[in-house]
Amino acid sequence: MMGSSIRARMALASILPVLLVVATIAGIFWQGRVQDLENSHQQRTRLLVHQVALFSAYGLFSGNTASLQSVVQEIQREADVQLVMVFDANGDVLAYSGPTEVRALSDAESPNFKAGLRTRHLDMRIESVLPTTVPIDDMFTPEQTTNSHFAAPLGSAMVVVSRQDLDEKKSDALLTALWVGAAGMLLGGFLAFRLGDWVVRPLVRISQMVKRIGQGDFTIAPIVSERDPLKELQVSLNQMAERLAWGRDELERQVEKVTQELRLKKEQAESATQAKSRFLAAASHDLRQPSHALGMFVARLGQLPMDPQMRQLVNNLQVSVQEMQDLLDGLLDLSRLDSGNVQIRMAPVDLNDLLNSVRSSLANVAQAKGLRLRVRSTRLWGQSDATLLVRMLVNLVINAIRYTERGTVLVCCRPYDQGQGVRIEVWDSGIGIPAQHHDDIFKEFYQLANRAGDRNFGMGLGLNIVQRSAALLGHEIVLRSNLGCGTRFSILLKAAQPVRVQSDKLLGALQPTLGDITGLHVLLIEDNDNAREAVRQLLLSWGCKVVVAKTLVEAQTQLLQHGVPDVILSDYHLGAAENGIECIAALRALAGGTVPACLMSGDTHDAFLDAVNAADLPLLHKPVRPAKLRSLLRRMLP
C-alpha cells in the first residue's frame, strides 16, 4: 500500500508538467488553427462581395439589370454562398440570387435580420459599389487625377455566406488537438510511471524495513543490490534494528523484574487491606457491644434522682457516649465503603418521610446549640437507596450544625430539569467555605476550620462518606459556598413516581406515636451480660415487664413460664450455633402466632442485611439509641 502510494505520488509529480505542456501545446495549436480558419473565411467573404461590387459597377451605371442578374447568379454558384444581392443608390433591390425576404438595403441592415443570420450560422458582408474611371492615354490632354473614393456610390452589393463548413473544420481541428494531446499524455504518463517505479522501488524497500522495525521485528534484512542508491541507509537501518533488539531484550528483563516487585508490593498491600477489613469486621460486633451497653447504662443513669453537680456530670457523660457512638458509626461506614461490599437497593423513596426522620433525629441537637432546624415538607419522591440517602442527609445536616454558630439550618427539596430530577438542599448560615477548598473538604479527616483538633467538630469523615455514597448511588453533590456567606449542599437524584409502600426498614425515619409502653411484656434475648442488664434496667425504668434469656432454650422456657410476650427483642449473635432470626422464628412457632419482634445487632455486612430483609424483621443497629428503642416499642404496641 505504501509503495503504491509513493509510486502514485511520484507519477503524479512527473506527469503533471507533461500534462501541462501537452495541454498548452494542444490548446495553442487548436486556437491558431481556428484563428487561421476564421481569417480565411472572412477574407473569402470580403473577396466575394468585392467581386460582386466590381462587376456590378457598369450595370448600375448603365442601368443594365440583366447584366447585374448575371453577375449575382454567377457569384451565388460559389460554395457556401447563400444569397447575393445588388441595391441601387436608393437602397432598392435591382438583382438577387438565393432565397430572401429582403426588399431593401434597410432591411438587410436591420438588427433583427442580422440576429437571424447569426442563429443560422450565416455571415453577411455589404460593400458600396463605386464608379470606376478608365484613363485615356492622350498626350495632348492634360493629366487629370480622378479619385473614385470621393465619388458618390452607385449602389451596394451584399453577400451572405454559410459558416457550416467553417464550423466543421473547427471541430476537426479540435478533435485533432485532442487526439494529439491524448497521445502526448499517454506517452508522458507511461514515461512518468516508469520513472516513478525506478525511483520508488528503493524507497519501498526502505519503508518496508521501517514498518517491520516499527512492528517489533528486528531481523536483519539482506541488501538487494550493491548498486542500490539507498544501500547505506539500509545498512544503517539494519544496525538500528540490531541495537533495538538488544535494548528490547534488556528492557523486557527490567520490566519483568520491576513487575515482580510491584506484584509483590501489591500482594502485600492487598493483604494489609484484607487484614484491616477482617479486623474491622471482627471488631465491629465487639466495639458496638460495649458502646451499646454503655449508652443504655448512661440513659438509665440519667433517669435517677441526683443533685445538680451529678446531673451535669451525667449530661457530659451522655454527650461523650453520643460522640463515641457517632465516631464508631463513621469509621464502620468508611470501612464498608472501602471494602466495596455495600449493596445498593435502588427504589422509590418518599422524601417527605426522609426529611421527617432528619427532623426527629437532629432537632434536639440543633436546639441544644441554639440553632433552628427548619425542614420543609414535600410531595416529591426520588429514586435512591433509602438507607444510604438518609445517612448522607444526616451527615450533611450534622456538618451544617457543627459549623453554624447562630441562625438557621434549612433542609428542603426542589424539582429541577423540568421535573425529571430532585434536588435535596441543606442550607446553613455558618462560616462558609472558601472556593479554593471546595474539593479538599471531601477528603478523609480534612477539617478546614479545625486546625487545633477540636473533637467538637468531629473527625472530618462525614463529607467523605457523603461523597463516596453519592458515587455509589450515581448521585451528584453540588456545593455552593464562600467565606462568610454560609453554605448550600445539594444532592441531585432522579425523580420517581410515588408508590403506596410504607418504609418500615428505616428505623431512623420512624415517627413516635402516642402510646404508653408501661406494662409492656418484653422478652429480651441477649448473650452479653452487660448489654442484657443495661437494656433490662432501661426497659424496667420505662415500666415494662421484662424477662431475659441468653439462648433459645432459655427463651423457650421463659415463654412457657411467663406466657407469650408482647414484643421480642433479640440480639443476632447468640452463640456459636444460634442467631436471633432463627430464635425469633422458633419462638413464634412455639407461641402459635406472629409475635412482634425486633433484632439488635452490630453487624453491617450485606449477607446479614439480606437475611434480615428476607425475615422481614425491623433492625436496630448497635449501639442503639434509647429514643429509637422507645419509639419502636411504641409502634409495636399490641
How far is residue 490 from each of residues 346, 411, 423, 507, measured CA to CA in Å?
19, 10, 6, 24
Q: Is the dihedral of CA 33, 35, 37, 43 positive or negative?
A: negative
Q: What is the pLDDT of residue 505?
A: 43
Between residues 508 and 464, the one the model is more confident about: 464
- For 544-596, write each residue's pLDDT tens digit: 999 999 888 888 898 889 888 989 999 888 876 788 898 999 998 988 888 89
What is the CATH number assigned to the segment(s) 343-506? 3.30.565.10
- Split at pLDDT 50, 70, 90, the class of 422 is very high
How much is the pTM? 0.46
Top-level class of domain 509-635? alpha beta
The domain limits of the chain are 1-132+151-217, 343-506, 509-635
Between residues 465 and 136, the one the model is more confident about: 465
- Split at pLDDT 50, 70, 90, the class of 312 is confident
Average pLDDT, the chain: 79
Using CA atoms, how far apart are residues 482 and 488, in angstroms rounded to an integer? 10
Using CA atoms, how far apart are residues 129 and 54, in angstroms rounded to an integer? 7
- Split at pLDDT 50, 70, 90, the class of 452 is very low
Q: What is the pLDDT of residue 504?
A: 42
Q: Half-sphere exposure (CA, 13 Å, Cβ side) for 614? A: 9
Between residues 242 and 231, the one the model is more confident about: 242
How far is residue 302 from each of residues 313, 624, 634, measured CA to CA in Å?
10, 16, 21
Q: What is the pLDDT of residue 511?
A: 41
Whether the per-residue pLDDT at 358 is higher than 50: the answer is: yes
- Split at pLDDT 50, 70, 90, the class of 323 is low
Whether the per-residue pLDDT at 330 is higher than 70: the answer is: no
User: Which alpha helices (DSSP H) does 87-163 contain, by range?
Assistant: 105-108, 111-119
Architecture category of domain 1-132+151-217 in CATH: 2-Layer Sandwich (3.30)
List the grid coordinates of 569. 427483642
Using CA atoms, how far apart are residues 19 and 182, in angstroms rounded to an integer? 9
